[in-house]
Amino acid sequence: MTIGIGLLGLGTVGAGVAAILATPQGRHPLVADLELKRVAVRDLARPRPVALAEGLLCTDPEAVVDDPAVEIVVEVMGGLEPARSLILRAIAAGKPVVTANKAVIARYGDEIAAAAQAQGVYVLIEAAVGGGIPIIEPLKQSLGGNRIQRVSGIINGTTNYILSRMAAEGAAYGAVLADAQQLGYAEADPAADVQGGDAADKIAILAGLAYGGPVDRAAIATEGIDRLDARDVDYAARLGFVVKLLAVAEHVGQDDDGVQKLDVRVHPTLLPKHHPLAGVHGVNNAILVEGDPIGQVMFFGPGAGAGPTASAVVADILNIAGIRQVGGASAGLDPLLAASSWNRCRLVDGLDSQHRNYLRLLTRDEAGVIGQIGSCFGAAGVSIQSIVQYETDGPGAEMAAGAEIVVITHQVQEARFRGALAAIKALDAVESVAACLRTL
- Length of the chain counted residue by residue: 440
Residue 320 near residue 314 (C-beta atoms within 8 A): no
Which secondary-structure segment (H or E) carries 114? helix 102-119
Question: CA–CA distance from 278 to each of 170, 238, 244, 374 (Å)?
Answer: 17, 15, 8, 29
Q: Which of 153, 157, 291, 350 binds ligand HSE (CB under 6 A)?
A: 157
Q: Which residue is nearest to ligand NAP (CB)?
A: 11
Q: Which does 71 bind (CB under 5 to 8 A by kind): ligand NAP, ligand HSE, none?
A: none
Residue span 177-196 as binding mask against ligand HSE, x where in contact by CB under 6 A, dash where not: --------xxx-----x---
Rule CB under 6 A: which residues touch ligand NAP?
9-14, 40-43, 46, 61, 76-78, 82, 100-102, 127, 131, 184-185, 187-188, 304-305, 309
Residue span 246-285 as binding mask against ligand HSE, x where in contact by CB under 6 A, dash where not: ----------------------------------------
Between 15 and 289, name the residue whose CB sits nearer to ligand NAP: 15
Residue 180 near residue 186 (C-beta atoms within 8 A): yes
Smallest separation (angstroms) from ligand NAP to the CB of 265:
21
Residue 436 near residue 406 (C-beta atoms within 8 A): no
Smallest separation (angstroms) from ligand NAP to the CB of 362:
38
Smallest separation (angstroms) from ligand HSE to the CB of 13:
9
Beta strand 402-409 with 354-364 is: antiparallel
Between 187 and 223, name the residue whose CB sits nearer to ligand NAP: 187
Which secondary-structure segment (H or E) carries 135? none
Between 137 and 193, name the residue whose CB sits nearer to ligand HSE: 193
Which secondary-structure segment (H or E) carries 301? strand 295-302
Smallest separation (angstroms) from ligand NAP to the CB of 31:
20
Between 42 and 238, name the residue whose CB sits nearer to ligand NAP: 42
**Residue 174: DSSP 8-state:** H
Q: Residue 25 and residue 405: Cα distance in Å, rounded?
A: 60
Smallest separation (angstroms) from ligand HSE to the CB of 230:
20
Between 213 and 224, name the residue whose CB sits nearer to ligand HSE: 224
Smallest separation (angstroms) from ligand NAP to the CB of 410:
38
Residues 76-135 that bind ligand HSE (CB under 6 A): 131
List, in sequence order, the alpha helices (H) in 170-257.
173-182, 191-194, 197-211, 230-238
Residue 294 near residue 146 (C-beta atoms within 8 A): yes
- Packing angle between helix 197-211 and helix 102-119, nearest 10 degrees? 30
Specify the 3-state DSSP secondary structure of 155.
Answer: coil
Smallest separation (angstroms) from ligand HSE to the CB of 155:
7
Binding of ligand HSE by 206 (CB under 6 A): no
Residues 298-357 that bind ligand HSE (CB under 6 A): 303-304
Residue 162 near residue 224 (C-beta atoms within 8 A): no
Residue 22 near residue 5 (C-beta atoms within 8 A): no
Between 264 and 306, name the residue whose CB sits nearer to ligand NAP: 306
Q: Which does 156 bind (CB under 5 to 8 A by kind): ligand HSE, ligand NAP, none?
A: ligand HSE
Residue 376 near residue 420 (C-beta atoms within 8 A): yes
Q: Which does 269 bind (CB under 5 to 8 A by kind): ligand HSE, ligand NAP, none?
A: none
Between 198 and 232, name the residue whose CB sits nearer to ligand HSE: 198
Smallest separation (angstroms) from ligand HSE to the CB of 107:
15
Q: Residue 204 and residue 103: Cα distance in Å, rounded?
A: 10
Q: Which residue is nearest to ligand HSE (CB)?
A: 158
Residues 26-55 that bind ligand HSE (CB under 6 A): none
Q: Residue 123 and residue 87: Cα distance in Å, rounded?
A: 9
For the sheet containing 34-40, what is the strand order?
57-58, 34-40, 3-8, 72-75, 97-99, 123-124
Active site residues: 202
Residue 46 near residue 33 (C-beta atoms within 8 A): no
Q: Which range of residues in 114-122, 152-160, 391-399, 405-413 is near ligand HSE by CB under 6 A? A: 152-160
Binding of ligand HSE by 158 (CB under 6 A): yes
Vertex 158: Cα angle to 152 and 161 (nearest 5) = 90
Q: Which does 370 bind (CB under 5 to 8 A by kind): ligand NAP, ligand HSE, none?
A: none
Give the interface with ligand HSE as residue ranges (CB under 6 A): 131, 156-158, 185-187, 193, 198, 303-304
